[in-house]
Amino acid sequence: MLTVILGGARAGKSSLAERLASAQGAPVTVIATARPSDADMRARIARHQADRPVGWTTIEEPLNLVVALDHVAPDACVIIDCLTVWTSNLMAEPQKTADIEAEARRISATAAARPGATIVVSNEVGMGVHPETELGMRYRDVLARVNATWARAADRAVLVVAGRVLELHPTEDLLAELRR
């Protein structure tokens, strides 16, 4: 089962992912995409590491999520935290937007096909301040498409707002309801 957790910064996405993973009753592997690039990021990484239960495995992989998934037992629960940083990492590499979106389709399909649960965290950046730079606008747009790709592949997608969870329903469900 693939679950995508979207929301704003500090909304409670990672803690929800950890609670869902704990409830699986399976070994848990966290695939962490952050790079310790500055003091703030190092502190955030340390906080996330300290919050994880003892016995969970962590794979630090900023770019190649398929390789990271290949190193996880098929029945283990996986948390990918997070697509926001992964997308940023890919954009820092010499990749075209179409390549990033193709990689999101490939990895989301791989994650959805796993026998074990996969829980993916990402920020919803399109509801915030309008970016002032061309790079900021491109990042917002690419991440929106990456998130939509993962949400389409998911069995469940939720939006976390102020620590509360809203279930996101597939567009097809709404269209089918309107046709009735």
Query: What's the maximum distance between 2 C-alpha atoms anywhere in the chain?
Result: 55
Q: Give Cα 162 to chain centroid, integer Å.
A: 18
Can you tell me the distance from the alpha carbon of 22 to that of 65, in angstroms, rounded to the nearest whole number? 22
Q: Which of 48, 71, 130, 169 is labelled catalytic?
A: 48
Q: Under a CB-based contact definition with an 8 Å cutoff, are residues 143 and 123 in contact? A: yes
Can you tell me the distance from the alpha carbon of 66 to that of 80, in angstroms, rounded to the nearest whole number? 11
Active-site residue flag, 169: no
Active centre residues (catalytic): 48
